[in-house]
Chain A
Amino acid sequence: MKQFTYTITDPIGVHARPAGMLAKAAKALDSTVTIAKADGKSAAATKLMALMGMGIKNGETVTVTVEGGNEEANAAAMEQFFKENL
């Protein structure tokens, strides 16, 4: 299991477009990727509506967990994705 934290810088938070891109990116990986908020809410990164339902706002910090498959490379890919899009 690999984990990293990330603080959202997108002014509208995790909105539809990056959430959709995230779901697409996560689906392409051979690991299970989970996004969790400090308040305990979490969702699989492949689930667009569940991600939106978490209501992740600008300035909030999320924990991203990558399990199974090529954890090392997949976690790095996810971290890169967050930096570029969120």
Chain B
Amino acid sequence: MIMLQGKGVSKGVANGPLYFFQRPDTTISDTPAADIEAEKARIAAAQKKAIDQLNALADKAREDTGDETAILFETHAMFVEDEDYVDCMMNTLTERGCLAEKAVELAGEEFAAMLAAMDDPYMQGRAADIKDVTRRILNNLMGIAEGGIDSEVPVILAADDLAPSETLQLDKSKILGFITQGGSSNSHTAILARTMGIPAICGLGEALKADQSGREIYIDGETGQVAIDPDKITLSSFQTKMEKQREMKELMETMKGQGDVTMDGREMMVYCNIGSPADVSAVLSNDGQGIGLFRSEFLYLASSDYPTEEEQFQAYKEVAAAMGGKRVVIRTLDIGADKQVDYFQLHKEENPALGVRAIRICLNRPEVFRTQLRALYRASAYGKVAIMFPMITSVWEVKECKRACQKVMAELDREGVPYRQDTEIGVMIETPASVLVAEELAKEVDFFSVGTNDLTQYTLACDRQANDLGKFFDPHHPAVLRALKLAADAAHKAGIWIGICGELGADLTLLETFLAIGIDELSVSPSAVLPLRAKIRKSIAKTCTLEKLEC
């Protein structure tokens, strides 16, 4: 038995085989091929495999999610079969005398460019489909497992640390839990684990080794304990915990369909944080009342070029429609700082958290902003979309954002495209400056949402990515809680609502403080909804005090 100790960043107990994440080598060389006929045969085999995979995916989708997704996979299969596309690969191979990988890559680029150059936004959007099928053929050629996990059974995924773009591509159905060498409770792996409702442990360091792959492992996301090939005593203690977890889950099931209301009748809106349309099913199965934070970054991180208006529109529309009229707060892009995207070509900064990020990028690049706002407003016709701007420090920024919104609405009016004129606009409260000018900000917008991770980072001057700040990074610090109170008072004075969409929202030890401050909405990971509901229903708002604010 090997015992490891890390930091638990997402609760829960799980066991399964350990699988060490392999970062695939995706470089394609342009060296001459020794045998052109052999390369042609490799393309044909990879193509056939892609068709089989896509048809299998279509069959599975038809059973699980219905026709819409199935048709997408079937269309992709038809792309792979397209004569011109395959001819183009084979001709490139013969003319260039290159390897199969290069020929496939070039053919994919040619067809994607053809569609991207069309004057129709729908067709431009299909360039992404061509890139997707090309990637699939390439993966087959290079032996890269789809979803990054080459295992038949679900695993405990181990890694040094995972980049946001890597976590997006993982096949979530094969992951029982995460363990990483580095990372912190605010890292993307931790956030993903909490959304999925599975355990995660970070900061295991060098003791976690790649050669432990395949061994039976037990993890406890609360205590941060990891046991590889556990002995009898350890095993039985883990099994007891798993049994308790099952019972707790059954108990939480009884919370479904209940209201988020305290014993003395104070209502709280309990919403969810999501990172992609795929997370909506977790929101619905956990009975979230709405979506308080839909991070739009996934569109930018998962893409190798600026996502088109059409691609964005489809994603926002899908979520708005799936939530059936419940509020969906979509945050405009929050790139920069710890989330870097190559094609934005941002300058390297000494202090990226204090640099050109989020709304600053949008206001500097009106075209990027306009594309996203158009997609958001178009999606507003399909549900109850609310737009939220991140990293606000000044009133003029909000005014400029609103002008950009008005321009977009005027464009859509002219084009006769439907949208909702009463789409709510809100700002993130995550800088000390926004707290101090909250009264003025509140007059401009329909709601506030506090990003506690960044608010803590900027208020306490503690880097949220650093994992050695320990006791100095304290989200319960009275300064952070008093900032919340200031923002809440300003919001209520202007008659608007205020929510919390940072990790702190799910902190049950602070619920009474939030009730005393008068927070109207808590947006948490889907898996945190039912435990939060259980606690709200046992609370009495009137008796809650501000003692944690120490004033």
Interface string of A35-78 (1 = CB under 8 A from B): 00000000000111110110101000000000000000000000
Residues A23 and B78 in contact, CB atoms below 8 Å apart = yes
Q: Is B507 an interface position by the 8 A CB rule? A: no
Residues A48 and B82 in contact, CB atoms below 8 Å apart = yes
B: interface residue count bin: 20 to 34
Known contacts A16-B129, A20-B74, A53-B114; decide if A48 and B79 are in contact (CB<8 Å): yes
Residues B129 and A49 in contact, CB atoms below 8 Å apart = no
Name 5 extra pairs, CB < 8 A, besides A48-B78, A53-B115, A57-B120: A13-B122, A16-B129, A17-B71, A49-B82, A52-B115
Q: Could you count the A-B residue pairs with CB atoms below 8 Å apart for me: how many are there?
A: 44
The complex places the Cα of A48 from the Cα of B81 at a distance, in Å, of 9
Chain A residues close to B by CB (< 8 Å): 12-13, 15-17, 20, 23-24, 46-50, 52-53, 55, 57
Give the residues in chain A near B126, CB-CB below 8 Å: 15-16, 52
* A contact face: mostly helix, strand, loop, or mixed: helix
Give the residues in chain B near A48, CB-CB below 8 Å: 78-79, 81-82
The complex places the Cα of A8 from the Cα of B126 at a distance, in Å, of 20
CB < 8 Å: which of A20, A53, A55, A57 contacts B75? A20
CB < 8 Å: which of B75, B85, B118 contacts A16? B75
Q: Is B83 an interface position by the 8 A CB rule? A: yes
Residues B79 and A55 in contact, CB atoms below 8 Å apart = no
**Using a CB-CB cutoff of 8 Å, which residues 48-84 of chain B contact chain A?**
71, 74-75, 78-79, 81-84
Give the residues in chain B near A12, CB-CB below 8 Å: 122
**Using a CB-CB cutoff of 8 Å, which residues 427-452 of chain B contact chain A?**
none
User: Closest CB-CB distance, B187 to chain A, in whole Å?
Assistant: 37
Residues B123 and A55 in contact, CB atoms below 8 Å apart = yes
The complex places the Cα of A55 from the Cα of B126 at a distance, in Å, of 12
**Using a CB-CB cutoff of 8 Å, which residues 103-124 of chain B contact chain A?**
111, 114-115, 118-120, 122-123
The complex places the Cα of A13 from the Cα of B75 at a distance, in Å, of 16
9 nearest A-B residue pairs (beta carbon): A20-B78, A48-B82, A20-B75, A49-B82, A16-B75, A12-B122, A48-B78, A55-B118, A49-B84
Give the residues in chain A near B122, CB-CB below 8 Å: 12-13, 15
Give the residues in chain A near B111, CB-CB below 8 Å: 49
The complex places the Cα of A54 from the Cα of B81 at a distance, in Å, of 19
The complex places the Cα of A21 from the Cα of B224 at a distance, in Å, of 52
User: Closest CB-CB distance, B523 to chain A, in whole Å?
Assistant: 34
The complex places the Cα of A20 from the Cα of B78 at a distance, in Å, of 6
User: Closest CB-CB distance, B415 to chain A, in whole Å?
Assistant: 14
CB < 8 Å: which of B84, B115, B118 contacts A47? B84
User: Closest CB-CB distance, A60 to chain B, in whole Å?
Assistant: 12
The complex places the Cα of A13 from the Cα of B114 at a distance, in Å, of 17
Residues A17 and B119 in contact, CB atoms below 8 Å apart = no
The complex places the Cα of A52 from the Cα of B119 at a distance, in Å, of 12
Give the residues in chain B near A57, CB-CB below 8 Å: 120
Give the residues in chain B near A20, CB-CB below 8 Å: 74-75, 78-79
